[in-house]
Structure 1
Amino acid sequence: MAASMFCALLGAVTALVVLSRIHNRQLSARSLDGTARDSAEPLRAAARREP
């Protein structure tokens, strides 16, 4: 039982490390590509408006 839980933990950590690196590479490529959108821009625009 303990060995299977350790293997599950090891698999989960490995998946997070591998997939996070792939995800970061994709985000970097997209921001260099110019296709990335700034999701905070509508919030900044709303904050600039005067009441």
Structure 2
Amino acid sequence: MCTRLNRDRVLHAAVELADTAAIDAVSMRILAERLGVVPMALYKHVAN
């Protein structure tokens, strides 16, 4: 069973990525890869 994508999961992954890499490393493409989704799936949960 896979974990559903939600705003909290997206934000947690973004903060974790920024903490481990750098804020400049956070992109929708890289974040989507980490979450196992396509980049467009993120826009449902994060407006901009």
TM-score range for the pair, normalised by the shorter chain length: 0.3 to 0.5
Q: Max radius of gyration: which structure? A: 1
Normalised to the residue count of structure 2, the TM-score between the two structures is 0.35
Q: Which structure has the higher relative contact order (CA within 8 Å, separation 6+)? A: 2
Whose helix fraction is larger, Structure 1's or Structure 2's? 1
Normalised to the residue count of structure 1, the TM-score between the two structures is 0.33
